Amino acid sequence: MNKFTSLLRKPITGTIIAILMGFLCAAVILACAGYNPIHALSAMLQGIFGRPKYMANIIVKATPIILTGCSVAFAYKMGLFNIGAEGQYIFGALAACLTGITVNLSPWLEIPLILLAGMAAGALYGALAGWLKAKFNIHEVISGIMLNWIAMYFSNFITGMEAFHKPNTSGTFPINVSGFTTFFPNWKATEEAAQFMKDNPFLGDILRTDFNAGIIIAIALVLLSSYILYKTSKGYQLRAVGSNRYAAEFAGIDVKKNIIETMMFAGLLAGASGALAIMGNNPHAVLEIAAFEGNGLNGLSVAFIANGSPIGCIFSGLLFGGLLYGGQSLQYVVGAPTEIVNIMVGTIVFFVALKDIIPVIADKMEHRAATKKLVDQKEGASS
Amino acid sequence: MNTFTLLIGVALMYATPMVLAALGGVISERAGVTNIGIEGMMTIGAFTGAAVGYFTNNPWLGVLAAGLAGGLTAILHALASITFKADQTVSGVAINLIGPALALFFCRLCFDGSAVTEPVNAKLPKLFGDNATGILANLNVDFMVIIAILATVIMWIVLYKTKWGLRIRAVGENPAAADTLGINVEFVRYVCVIISGILAGMGGAAVTLSIVSQFSQTSIAGQGYMALAAVIFGSWLPHGAFLACILFGLAQALVVVLGGGAVSVPSEILAMLPYVMTIIILIFFAGKSRAPKANGQPYIKGKR
Amino acid sequence: MEHNTKPVNAVEMNGIVKVFGNRPVLDQVNLEVEKGSVHAILGENGAGKSTLMNILYGLYQPDGGTIKINGQQVEMKNPSTAIATGIGMVHQHFMLVDVFTVAENIILGQETTKGGAFLDMDKAKQDVLALIEKYGLDVDPDAKIEDISVGMQQRVEILKALYRGADILILDEPTAVLTPQEIDELINIIHNLVNDGKTILIITHKLDEIKKSADKCTIIRRGQYIDTVSVKDVSQSDLADMMVGHQVNLKVAKTLMNPKHVIFEVDDLHARDVRGVEVLKGLSFKIRSGEIYGIAGIDGNGQKELLEAITNMIHVQGGTIKINGKEIQNTTTWNTITSGIASIHEDREKRGLIPDFSVEDNFVLETYMKNPFSIKGLMKQKAISDFAKKQVQEYDIRPNGCEKDLIRGLSGGNQQKVIIAREIANNPDLLIAMQPTRGLDVGAIENIHKTLLDQRDKGKAVLLISLELDEVMNVADTIGVIYDGKIVKEMPQDQATEHEIGLLMAGGSANE
Amino acid sequence: AASQKKEGTYLVTMVTDTGGINDQSFNQSSWEGLESFNQKTGADVRYIESKQASDFTTNMDRACDAYSDLVWGIGFSLADSLINIASYNPDIHFAIVDQSFEDTPMNVTGVTFRAEESSFLAGYVAGMSTKTDRVGYIGAMKTFVNDQFEYGFLAGVQFAAQERGVPIQVDEQFTESYSDVAKAKAIANKMYSSGCDIIYHSVGGAGYGAIESAKENKKYIIGVDSDQSYLAPDNVLTSALKNVNVAVEELSTKAMNGEDIGGKTFDFGLSDNGVGLPKENKNMDPEVYQKTMEVQERIINGEIDPPSTEETYKAWLSENGIQ
Ligand SMILES: Nc1ncnc2c1ncn2[C@@H]1O[C@H](COP(=O)(O)OP(=O)(O)OP(=O)(O)O)[C@@H](O)[C@H]1O
Ligand SMILES: Nc1ncnc2c1ncn2[C@@H]1O[C@H](COP(=O)(O)OP(=O)(O)OP(=O)(O)O)[C@@H](O)[C@H]1O
Ligand SMILES: [Mg+2]
Ligand SMILES: [Mg+2]
């Protein structure tokens, strides 16, 4: 009993149940819409695990949302809802792209430089939202939403400028090849590489994708965030403010400064995400967009599926990326509309929201046992 | 004069869906339930309104059905955040994922695989009839605008002049106190969240039944989030939210009026105007607004 | 025909069981209250008194047992049932909507309306005023709750119950926040109510109040029913012994003070509250090393702002605050702390602790960035744990070994001990304690008072701000009475009388 | 694998641009082309939707994995991804809408449209039909494809103005969005209330707003991409068709029949029904239609060369002696 209830209390239990429920709901909807759910889900799994390159692609897709998820999770630890991750991502991508176009150094300098540019731009943009909150008490949700739109239009404006715009496309020039984080970008285009890829199906399969070193940087940044949060005195401060800002204030912590710093770091993560996308993914350029791509908003889902844990974002980011990617094969192979995938992801997040019910059930079970024990004791004593 | 009336007309058109949705946000948050899911509820309403309007050839039925559908979606949110004491933000985010997907899913089911509904023939009537010209044409708003204004007034009266309003506000400020006085906190919250969904759904229908006459997957593209901002901007007051939406509508109208003319501002830069303006206005007016104290917190009996 | 000879009990609770989680809190508790009597319930912190009353009021569902009201068995499903059966309750933590007016709070849930929907506030005010007059409960129906004093708020709570026509009134620790005069008034009100035929259930830790007001007293210890006694048959110390189950010492043993140089000095302090109203109007006092300076006064006379000004949570408009000769006003909270001032806020949950942090993490809330708890910005969890372990033992924080638990799970008394241990570990020159024993039982209070005296005997300065006159009289060496933002009179403890201070607190003067 | 095609069939897969399959624009039109291709030939046709730019490459790749014989990229945004994937899959044929390459790989076909031609006709119709001598153009964002619509239309209007010997004013404004129906409607309202009686739009889904405005103001609007008259039968004057479906179907058929279409770009215009106006235009004066068809002939035989960029437009103006 005790073992069972303490298992139920583990946060991961709720998350796993939530994910299963999400799949279950999707299966029901698929069945209602006249698709064979088993066939559909197996097509989806096939599209996720079927070939090594599928997994490589999922990692590529997960890279940016792991970071935006971490950005949201980090800010949430301090009680801030970083809905502005989308804008920070856009700024990060834009700064990274402009740097990558104008500067051409060796990869060892170029890549860090582009990453730094992206992080700096994201951090500044995040700090702006933090500053608006600290200084003028403007709710970060409002400023975040506004700054997202501003970022989008600003990015379109820059993308359209003659200096950066690649003629006959909807985007900028690509960044210099030295800024690519894909493996052996120059070699890949050669005849020799083509032969190599033919001869080594496994490696070739992966090399043909956008598989890139970004994931390593992303994981490093996630670990760094987690380290900062839980191992440093700065992190202690942030968590204290997030958990009870009044007590933190009374203990001499400068709450406003912390708000700005947190938003700045959250922006840095989202900006890094944008930079990694530019360095790692074709076409290595910023495109004009008419609607948000959703990397920041998906970060919200990733963070919540991860239960607000930065490290959890690595896994939930992969899950989310896998669902989106695998969902496309569901659509392609079975012909089921992609909305099903969105419904599935939504249901998972919904059940994640409900997951707190599970420890409550555990409590109820223990409560019943304790009450019974008490009554039994009394009866035993009186008889 | 022409420009001025155009400004007003455009502002009202822009604001109407947001006003309704924002009122939904106000009532829900006044009762202590954060509603990030407005965008999703709007999308469901936008689709249902257009679909029912098309099939029945009666736009009013469309508006009603949209409200109903929004309300049904809101039950999901209510279930999660009231009955199951879930994190209201997470549940709202989930609604925003599920809502648009469901709307599109049903759209494809009902319209032969198309992601766009057929145009509604019978449209909502206009304030000055169908043949207004000149200045009247600029101001010839449809009845959704009137509904939005009425809804604002009614919500203000309900919240501040009736016993239900007193109870709603009490539940949003101090649910434990309301509970000890025999007020059913969960019931009040359910009602408010469902009303919130109904209003958001009608807000969606305001797009697909009055601004245009069909639903497409981009009909609702951020209006729900803007409404959310308006709730906070308007200090959780019905009239505050209304004014915030109108202000935003005016800013958008300004973009339209200023654009295309002799002013040689790039249109991307001009497009930022409403958002920049909002932030600047907030810099001068924010800080005073205060959220309902229990907003976002599930009420758990006996929790200290 | 037996029941005709014996009067029907207003309340009869039989074999009440309540389990929270897996922890039994009430174990077969009985309670019988005669109609028209004042019945006290006595017990240590956490004994289960509030829980029992919450069950009676329908807020909690019992896991066993029955309830009879006026001889009728009732299932208390929710507060509505309780209200309908004529029960009213004033909760330990007030249940008021801060932003509403007094009248709105009173009518909430049973509103007077026009046409069944629209609030009729004029009628409501008239009804409320009638009640106010009848029972002598003076409050302004149009005032906002957040603007009135705690004593007033309590009256609003009583009015709420009376407005609903309560015959049985439960008062959960009503006197904890009142001045002596207010307590006397409350006892008067209680007598008025009883004369009007009402039955009163009162929970309190203050034995003299039980003696003064109650007819009978039921004692509960750790969820177990102990006894019901007739108050006039027992002494205060009998009650105390029954409550804790062993003999207790009611007065702190205290040596004479041995003051030296002035450590802390506040001079002509002027400050405003959040609403911009001036609440400190030229407040001055000094504290010497080895002295406990007690500030006595009614809530809302500037105590909160004084603490906030010293801790730099607010800016002051004039005057100086000096510690060891160094001015600290209008700097930062951090500066206050590093200048050698430690403070215990009256609101321990909000200002004192991070409820979702572990006990050990709460121990380093002000020192987390210092060696040995962190080195070069990195937290040293081992050092923190060791420190916490030591403190838990030294201050007898229970349960022992709770360092990794969330502080939320600790009892109120133990939470307070953590705060005090933490503040003293900073080795401050001045320790400010505001309401340090609020809501705690005698055992815990004794412990804390001893700690304050220890500090004094080590040659430190202590500033005790309390709304409980008893506490100030017992612990302080010098007493300053605060009224309307000023210290109106200062006197050595041995020259002070409760009567005089009570008058000064209420704005009277000693020569009246 | 489940994604394998049926043995012995010809598989064509199209990868959409962001916006989804039912975007009321090129994605949808292309898919209609493929569906018709399927009906006529029995070939297997499928699509994959892209949600964001980073999906392009992976979707192309997925199409190749499924042993597609021909893979379509719908829209110039997919160009880089398509070239990239094409280089790894020399045995599969690729085709892309709205893009030409300087040197086209042998397994890639570019497809472009001279949208300036149909827009020129639209402009001509507007210029000939306006009663107020003032017309409007609503664009979405400045892109090189959008330029074809914009400058083609402007030139068409000026051509009509020259013919009629009156100056015609053109109001222009951009929505910066393909989805903001309210903005498109507001801009249209503004144009109509300031005296325009005909508006041409090229703003995709946001165009519903402009069409709605025409309905409410009882003015004319010129549709885009497909025949939009069903959206407002009394108000759509005509539509500037861009028959992506025709091109997609035609080239798919050619590829299936083994014709060598690789390594080059097919440019569709009025002459091959790649762009044009609908045959039925109940709101248009038959006389104007007659004249428009004459202009169409002149474009087809090269007498008139509609401009597609700002530069060529300016040049065209001075060539034709218009200020
Ligand atoms: N909602 C709850 N959940 C879990 N435990 C609770 C809850 N409410 C009370 N308890 C626990 O039940 C026990 C009895 O609490 P109760 O509030 O009735 O004590 P009390 O006698 O009123 O004490 P005090 O004098 O401190 O007010 C305490 O140990 C308390 O911590
Ligand atoms: N809201 C709650 N939820 C869960 N457990 C609680 C809650 N409140 C109290 N407890 C548990 O009840 C225990 C006793 O709490 P309480 O504050 O009543 O102690 P107490 O007996 O009054 O002690 P003290 O005299 O130190 O105040 C705590 O150790 C805690 O584990
Ligand atoms: Mg206690
Ligand atoms: Mg109690």
pLDDT tens digits for range B46-85? 999 999 999 999 999 999 999 999 999 999 999 999 998 8
CATH code (residue C285): 3.40.50.300
pLDDT in tens, C150-201: 778 888 999 999 999 899 999 988 876 676 777 888 888 898 899 989 999 9
Question: Mean pLDDT across chain C, nearest whole number?
Answer: 88
Nearest to D212 among B211, B217, B259 (CB): B211
Judge if C293 and C376 occupy the same domain: no
The string over D46-63, giving b where at least 16 C-beta atoms fall within 10 Å of a residue's C-beta and e elsewhere, is bbbbbbbbbbbbbbbbbb
Q: Residue A322: inside a domain, yes or no?
A: no
A46 touches chain D (CB under 8 A): yes
**Terminal C-alpha separation, chain A:** 28
Q: Are residues C37 and C115 in the same domain?
A: yes
- Quick one: pLDDT at residue C146? 84
DSSP letters for C297-364: --TTSSHHHHHHHHTTSS-EEEEEEEETTEE-TTS-HHHHHHTTEEEE-S-IIIII--TTSBHHHHHT
In a domain, C61, yes or no: yes
D256: left (phi over 0), alpha (psi -120 to 50) or beta: alpha
- Per-residue pLDDT tens over the stretch C11-30: 999 999 998 877 788 989 99
Let me know: does A156 contact D141? Beta carbons within 8 Å.
Answer: yes
Percent of chain C scored above 70 by pLDDT?
A: 95
Question: What is the residue whose two structure tokens read 């924002």?
Answer: B22
Rounded mean pLDDT of C427-436?
94
Which of A71-85, A363-377, C135-149, D42-56 has the least mean pLDDT? A363-377
Which DSSP string corresponds to C12-32? EEEEEEEEETTEEEEEEEEEE
C432 and C286 in a common domain: yes
Does residue C379 register a pLDDT over 80? yes
Q: Which of C213, C244, C275 is a domain's end point?
A: C244
Contact B41, B195 (CB under 8 A): no
- Check residue C248 and give its pLDDT: 59
ipTM of the complex: 0.87
Smallest Cβ–Cβ distance between B138 and the set D183, D187, D193 belongs to: D193
Share the mean pLDDT of chain B. 90
pLDDT at C445: 83
Mean pLDDT, range C33-38, rounded to an integer: 93
Judge whether residue D207 has pLDDT over 80: yes
Q: Which amino acid is at C229?
A: V
Is A324 part of a structural domain of the chain? Answer: no
Cβ C93 vs Cβ C100: under 8 Å:
no
Q: With 60 as the cut, is the pLDDT of residue B91 above it? A: yes
Tell me the average pLDDT across B77-106.
91
- Percent of chain C surpassing pLDDT 90: 55
The rounded distance, in Å, linking the Cα atoms of B111 and C130 is 66
Q: Are residues C222 and C101 in the same domain?
A: yes
Bigger pLDDT: A257 or C348?
Answer: A257
Residue with tokens 């200020």: D323
The Cα diameter of chain C in Å comes to 83
Residue D3 pLDDT > 60: no
How do C9-20 and C216-221 pair as beta strands? Answer: unpaired
Q: Which pLDDT band, with edges at 50, 70 and 90, does C428 fall under?
A: very high
Residues near ligand 1 with C-beta < 6 Å? B 302; C 20, 25, 43, 45-51, 92, 439
Domains and CATH numbers, chain B: 2-285 (1.10.3470)
What does the angle CA B37 – CA B43 – CA B47 come to, to the nearest 5 degrees?
150
Q: How many CB atoms lie within 10 A of CB C317?
A: 13
Give mean pLDDT, residues A146-165. Answer: 93
**Number of CB atoms found within 10 A of residue D149's CB:** 29
Residues C87 and C183 in one domain: yes
**Mean pLDDT across A159-166:** 90
pLDDT at site A381? 61
In the DSSP assignment, the letter for residue A182 is: B
Using a CB–CB cutoff of 8 Å, tell me whether C455 touches chain A: no
Which residues' Cβ are closer than 6 Å to ligand 2?
Answer: B 303-304; C 45-46, 409-414, 440-441, 444
One domain for residues C205 and C76 = yes
Tell whether C346 is covered by a domain: no
- Which pLDDT band, with edges at 50, 70 and 90, does B38 fall under? very high
* C452: containing domain: 251-340+428-512
Whether residues B163 and C97 touch (CB distance < 8 A) is answered with no
3-state SS, chain B, equals: CHHHHHHHHHHHHHHHHHHHHHHHHHHHHHCCCCCCCHHHHHHHHHHHHHHHHHHHCCHHHHHHHHHHHHHHHHHHHHHHHHHCCCCHHHHHHHHHHHHHHHHHHHHHHHCCCCCCCCCCCCCCCECCCCCCCHHHHHCCCEHHHHHHHHHHHHHHHHHHHEHHHHHHHHHHHCHHHHHHCCCCHHHHHHHHHHHHHHHHHHHHHHHHHHHCCCCCCCCCCCHHHHHHHHHHHCCCCHHHHHHHHHHHHHHHHHHHHHCCCCCCCCHHHHHHHHHHHHHHHHHHHCCCCCCCCCCCCCCCCCCC
In a domain, A40, yes or no: no
Q: Please check whether residue A286 is in contact with residue A172, taking contact to mean a CB–CB distance below 8 angstroms.
A: yes
Same domain, C393 and C280: no
Domain assignment present for residue C1? The answer is no
Number of compact structural domains in chain A:
1
Regarding chains C and D, contact by 3 or more CB pairs under 8 A is answered as: no
pLDDT for res B303? 62
Find, in chain D, the residue whose alpha carbon is nearest to that of A286: D53
**pLDDT tops 70 at residue C494:** yes
Q: Which one has a higher pLDDT value, C212 or C480?
A: C480
Cβ contact (<8 Å) for B217 and D209?
Answer: no
D91 burial class (0-12, 13-18, 19+ CB within 10 angstroms)?
A: exposed
Q: Is position A210 within any domain?
A: yes
For the segment D174-183, the average pLDDT, to the nearest whole number, is: 89
| Cα C98 to averaged position of ligand 2 atoms, centre (Å) | 26
State pLDDT tens for residues A32-58. Answer: 888 888 988 888 888 888 888 899 999
- C121 occurs within a structural domain: yes
Given pLDDT bands bounded at 50, 70 and 90, which one contains residue D2? very low
User: Which residue of chain D is at minimal alpha-carbon distance from B126?
Assistant: D216
Indicate the residue type of C139.
V
In a shared domain, residues C296 and C401: no
Query: What average pLDDT does this structure show over C310-324?
Result: 94
Render pLDDT for A173-227 as a digit per residue (tens, 0 to 9): 999 999 999 888 888 778 888 788 878 888 888 888 888 999 999 999 999 999 9
What is the total count of domains within chain C? Answer: 3
| pLDDT over 60 at C463, yes or no | yes
Residues C59 and C143 in one domain: yes
On whether both C81 and C141 belong to a single domain, the answer is yes
Ligand 4 center to C400 CA (angstroms) = 24
pLDDT in tens, D104-139: 999 999 999 999 999 999 999 999 999 999 999 999
Residues 205-234 of D with CB under 8 A from B: 205-206, 208-209, 211-212, 216-217, 230-232
* A143 in a structural domain: yes
Res. C512: pLDDT tops 60: no
Identify the domain containing residue A179 by its residue range: 63-293
Q: What is the pLDDT of residue D303?
A: 92
pLDDT at D183 over 60: yes
Distance in Å, CA C47 to ligand 2 centroid: 10
D178 against C69, higher pLDDT? C69
Q: Which of C209, C224, C244 is the last residue of a domain?
A: C244
Question: Binning pLDDT at 50, 70 and 90, where does residue B111 land?
Answer: confident
Chain-centroid distance of CA C348 in Å reads 11
At residue B157 the predicted structure's pLDDT band, cuts being 50, 70 and 90, is: very high
The alpha carbon of A28 is separated from its chain's Cα centroid by a whole number of angstroms, namely 27
Percent of chain B whose predicted confidence (pLDDT) is above 70: 96
The candidate with the shortest Cα–Cα distance to A260, out of A110, A128, A100, is A128
Ligand 2 atom having least distance to the Cα of C439: 27
Q: Which one of the ligands is nearest to C414 CA?
A: 2
Nearest ligand, measured from the Cα of C359: 2
C-beta of residue B85 within 8 angstroms of C-beta of residue B215: no
A2 located within any domain: no
Q: Could you give phi then psi for residue C274, rounded to 5 degrees? A: -60, -30
Q: Which residues pair with D264 in a beta bridge?
A: D109
D190 neighbourhood in chain B, CB within 8 Å: 6, 10, 256-257, 260
**Helix/strand/coil for C480:** strand
Percentage, residues of chain D above pLDDT 90? 67
pLDDT of residue B146: 92
Q: What is the pLDDT of residues B271-300, one digit of tens each?
A: 999 999 989 988 887 666 678 888 888 888
Per-residue confidence (pLDDT) for residue C307, from 0 to 100: 95
The mean pLDDT of C260-266, rounded to a whole number, is: 93
Say yes or no: C18 and C112 in one domain: yes
pTM as predicted: 0.89
Buried b (16+ CB within 10 A) or exposed e, A83-120: bbbbbbbbbbbbbbbbbbbebeeeeeebbebbbbbbbb
Q: Which residues contact D311 (CB under 8 A, 6 or more apart)?
A: none
Domain for residue A304, yes or no?
no
Q: What is the number of CB-based contacts under 8 A between chain B and chain C?
A: 75
Q: Give domain status of residue C347, yes or no.
A: no
Whether C58 and C187 map to the same domain: the answer is: yes
Q: Which residues contact A345 (CB under 8 A, 6 or more apart)?
A: A22, A301, A320, A323, A324, B97
Q: What's the pLDDT at C178? A: 72
* Mean pLDDT within C418-432: 93
**Amino acid identity of D109?**
T
CB of C274 within 8 Å of a chain A CB? The answer is no
**Is residue A219 included in any domain, yes or no?**
yes
